[in-house]
Structure 1
Amino acid sequence: MRKIVVVDHLKDWDVTIEDVEVIEAQSYLTDPTYTDIRNARIFNLCRSYKYQSAGYYVSLLAEARGHKSIPSVTTMQDLKSPTIVRAITVEIDDLIQKSLSSLRSKSFTLSIYFGQNVAAKYEKLCKQLHDLFQSPLLRAQFVLKDEWVLQSISPIPVNEIPEHHWRYVKSFAKSYFARHRFSGARITRKIYDLAILIDPDEKEPPSNKKALQHFMDEADSQGFYVELITKDDYRRLPEFDALFIRETTSVNHHTYKFARKAFADGLAVIDDPVSILRCTNKVYLAELLTKAKVPTPKTMIIHKDNKDEVEAELGLPCVLKKPDSSFSQGVVKAKDSKSLQKELNEMLADSELIIGQEFLPTDYDWRIGILDKQPLYACKYFMAKGHWQIYNWEGKKQDTAGDVETIPFEEVPFTVLHTALKAANLIGNGLYGVDVKEVDGKAYIIEVNDNPSIEAGCEDKILKKNLYASIIKSIKRRIDNHKNIRTNE
């Protein structure tokens, strides 16, 4: 993939970096040679990003051509709005206060060159601001009121870099391109770039190490450069064409932040942010399934005004779920009136709404894997030993999860498959795992998971490596479709 630095005038960027081209904005905007490039990363160092300026059009046309632009037009717009700047940076307020606590002035200007500053003590703050606003050269203005406040953050015109800073800028730029994966000659043969987000410390990740290796091998065979990334690689998302999340997702979590950022930047994303929002909130899911008349166990949305009606409505025992429960965590079974009231009071203290469902005991739950609105695999997830759920986090380590049996589609009851597809298709066209209970020949949806388990030796027992190939092909197709849409706009 070509790496191109775009400037207004060549004299603005007298820095030679291996495998990095430097061209003028006029050439990029008007020369057909650059229009026809299929894969390129554009590092926009024009003096201005104002609306309808050359710098603005460089990023705008880069996106139209299917190139990856840094900064993107979305970032340019974000930088203009003090409201958006404050909203985006609220999460690093503690770092701002800590980093600037020793200052005695009432205002402070921080220059950020490729995520760094000439003073090492501001390294963490610079990195975080660069993560949030993907732009090579930034100027952050802080003012001291009751506490330090980020008043504005704006691009630094390349011709306004102080002369005594240039030796640092050159060093930072070379480090930036050398550190980032897009600078490696070893991957120039690859057409696509895939990031797989994982948490190396997660105890029960969606994919085990062997499955991750299968994903990487299949991606490589289909023309991808693929890299495992972690939550520390947020600022590197613009390097990639696609993001595949293989750690447990949640809305109030970096996984959603990654999905949202990648989706906004035009990457193909599994799990996409809309699917995460819809699947991880059980209140939304209950309302969606009820409205679409998809069969579920008897369900009610519980709040403080109807909590006394739960026992009469659902009977005992019944199941209570926190809105963001996953992998059997945040899900309890109330056996009697006393435990019901206790659990209701505890859950409603944390959330205005929770979910209650009638208890349907079965030896196993069906899990139907669905991709692109088509069934991918089918499994029986048996309950953990001596427990009523497929996971028992309080049991012995060897009894945490029940057995898994992978089933050919021809042996899956039609009603189970049909109901699972109907539920998943309400969410979107991503990768989902639909949990279904089969009782007396009828299928009931328990939940739709946006981040289903795919482990070597379990879900892949029938399709084997073709399971991984199917998912990578879907990601590849999404990238191509997105690029074609942009090319034809």
Structure 2
Amino acid sequence: MPILIVVNDPRDLPLQFEGSELVAAKTYLTDPHYAAMRGAKVFNLCRSYRYQSTGYYVSLLAAARGHKPVPKISTIQDLKSQTIIRVASEELEELIQKSLSPIQSNEFTLSIYFGRNVAKRHDLLSSHLFKLFESPLLRAVFVFNEKEHKWHLQNINPIAVNDIPEEHRPFVVEVAREYFQRRRTFSRKKAARYDLAILCNPEEKEPPSDVKAIDRFEKAAESLGLAAELIDREDYGRLGEFDALFIRETTNVLHHTYRFAQKAAAEGLVVVDDPESILKCT
């Protein structure tokens, strides 16, 4: 799979990422060579992802070409949503408190480079945030609530390449190299035309479908030529790999199931239950 690093101006990039091709955004948007390219992974490092900006159109066009943009348009929208950020903070509350407990100040900024942080103790939190908001370079701001005596995620935004501190750059190059070389392999019983994700939680006490039912769903999918894979809340960033999402957890609008449904619908997946149904039933 070709790996493209797309930036506004290659002359502005202070880093060299091994195993990838550096492309100017204008070239990617207009050159027929890239329009004809198949299966490319496009890491969008443009200065801005604002609506109708160059960075926005890079991710939009990449998806239209069948490429795999990082970030996706749905992720760009999620980064702007305080509701999504609040839900993410609630879901990761235990991890946030554990990771930030030694911090003495009332505000903390976490730099996330391809799911990693220069301080190893924050790697797990960085990884989870990267899965929720898959964008190459992120900066998350946490604030400490004195009354509640706990940390909250206040906002999370992309980092411009030029904003990476000089002392962090060798680390960024290394984690990028590791990320690009990582191969994700997913088992498939046989070649299938469509991929179905079944969202479930084995620890749920009263799930809408028990283990036997889930097994039957998998067998039914296989009989119809679908490759079914069980996923959980940690697989939010992988939704774009599937053609459909079947939610087999108890849904709620203030729950990760609703966020999964929203993201899947935004990416054009067939979704059961769809976001509107979850809203009506909550």
TM (norm. structure 1) is 0.46
| 1-structure distance, mates of 2:2, 2:84 | 32
- Which structure's relative contact order is higher, taking Cα pairs within 8 Å and 6+ residues apart? 2
| 1-structure distance, mates of 2:95, 2:73 | 27
How far is 1:44 from its partner?
0.9
Return the letter of the residue paired with 1:24: A
Residues 211 and 64 from structure 1, CA distance in 2 versus in 1: closer, same or farther, beyond 3 angstroms?
Answer: closer
Residues 112 and 212 from structure 1, CA distance in 2 versus in 1: closer, same or farther, beyond 3 angstroms?
Answer: farther
- Superposed, which structure 2 residues align to 1:120-131 within 5 Å? 120-131=120-131
Cross-structure match for 1:215: 222
- Superposed, which structure 2 residues align to 1:39-438 within 5 Å? 39-82=39-82, 85-146=85-146, 147-179=150-182, 181=184, 194-197=195-198, 199=200, 201=202, 203-208=210-215, 211-212=218-219, 215=222, 218-219=225-226, 228-238=230-240, 240-245=241-246, 248-252=248-252, 254-264=256-266, 266-274=267-275, 277=278, 281=281
How far is 1:137 from its partner?
0.8
| 1-structure distance, mates of 2:158, 2:168 | 16
SS in 2 for 1:152: strand
Query: What residue ranges of structure 2 are gaps of 5+ in the alignment?
Result: 204-209
Residues 143 and 167 from structure 1, CA distance in 2 versus in 1: closer, same or farther, beyond 3 angstroms?
Answer: same
Give me the identity figure in percent: 43
| 2-structure distance, mates of 1:58, 1:32 | 14
Q: Which structure's CA Rg is the greater one?
A: 1
Cross-structure match for 1:35: 35
Residues 218 and 156 from structure 1, CA distance in 2 versus in 1: closer, same or farther, beyond 3 angstroms?
Answer: same
Q: State the Cα deviation string for residues 275-316 of structure 1 (Å, max 9, x = none).
A: 75289x4xxxxxxxxxxxxxxxxxxxxxxxxxxxxxxxxxxx
Residues 262 and 77 from structure 1, CA distance in 2 versus in 1: closer, same or farther, beyond 3 angstroms?
Answer: closer
Contact 2:78/2:84 (<8 A) preserved: yes
Residues 15 and 210 from structure 1, CA distance in 2 versus in 1: closer, same or farther, beyond 3 angstroms?
Answer: same
Contact 2:197/2:242 (<8 A) preserved: no
Residues 82 and 230 from structure 1, CA distance in 2 versus in 1: closer, same or farther, beyond 3 angstroms?
Answer: closer
Residues 88 and 231 from structure 1, CA distance in 2 versus in 1: closer, same or farther, beyond 3 angstroms?
Answer: closer
| 1-structure distance, mates of 2:111, 2:256 | 26
Residues 114 and 125 from structure 1, CA distance in 2 versus in 1: closer, same or farther, beyond 3 angstroms?
Answer: same
SS in 1 for 2:92: helix
SS in 2 for 1:206: helix
Q: In angstroms, what is the RMSD of aligned CA positions? A: 3.7
Contact 1:75/1:133 (<8 A) preserved: yes
Cross-structure match for 1:15: 17
SS in 1 for 2:95: helix
